[in-house]
Amino acid sequence: MRRVPAILLAALLLLPGCIGDDEESGPITLKVGADVTEGHVEVVKGQNDQVISSSEVEVTFDFTDTFSGDGAVQTYWLQPGDGGAFQEVNAAETNTITHEYPAHGAFQATAGANDSAGNSASKAIRITIHLVLFLNESSATGTDDPSDVTWDTSSEHSIAAPLKTSIESRVVNLENLFFIESETVEVTWTAVDPNDETAGTQTASITEGDEYTWSFEQSTPELGPWVLHIDLDTQDEQVQVYTKIHVMYPTS
């Protein structure tokens, strides 16, 4: 058998279709991509740590230009990787599959195609979903007892642990009515990890009409439920609290 020269072989490997996003498995050339590979789910909480609203990340997998050299492509399918249901569609009716990711994590979706000759091809696609959580107590009258907020850094189907979790919490000491004596409030933030250990804490004295923001970041955080406590040294002062929490995942 005549051998292909190494230089010619290297050149062939650089031709379009030989490398890149396409997957060849037998006669099927699978051309599929996701319109979103990185996004954020947003959760809004209220008093008593209750979830008020949450969002999902919608991802559409596009199989346009997938073809088979051995028969007609009959079906496209998707295993989303987050524990969601397997989906399969008729290739004659649509070339896309859409899945909504409701939870945070790094997920390995698998997309594939089957043809009329019994051939199959599949491709892994990584979908990274970060978490951003808000708990804002921002009424005009404020609060003298800020709510705790909890969040979970674990994700059941994630193929990777979070890179970090972070907190940005701003407390505003509201101005009192003119006949009420102004007072400084001492605020203590405490982040507690799943082992019930203090991961970070900060105390600040905030004069009336002023504000302070505590920022905290933990790399490779312990997996499980975390809690943020915000404590005031007095109940004679009303404050507004604006808290944002992130859980971030690696994208590769």
**Rounded CA Rg of the chain:** 26
Residue type, 94: T
Identify the residue whose tokens are 């994630």.
158
178 or 136: which carries more pLDDT confidence?
Answer: 136
Q: Number of structural domains, the chain?
A: 2
Count of other CB atoms within 10 angstroms of residue 118 = 10
What's the pTM? Answer: 0.87
3 occurs within a structural domain: no
DSSP 63: -
Residue 201 has pLDDT above 70, yes or no: yes
Give the side-chain half-sphere CA count within 13 A for 89: 16
Q: Do 110 and 203 reside in the same domain of the chain?
A: no
Q: Do 134 and 83 reside in the same domain of the chain?
A: no
How much of the chain exceeds pLDDT 90, in percent? 83
pLDDT tens per residue, range 134-175: 999 999 999 999 999 999 999 999 999 999 999 999 999 998
Q: Do 232 and 150 reside in the same domain of the chain?
A: yes
242 occurs within a structural domain: yes
Name the residue range of residue 237's domain.
130-248
CA proximity to 39, closest of 123, 107, 159, 131: 131
Average pLDDT of 124-139? 97
Q: Do 39 and 102 reside in the same domain of the chain?
A: yes
Identify the residue whose tokens are 């496209």.
76
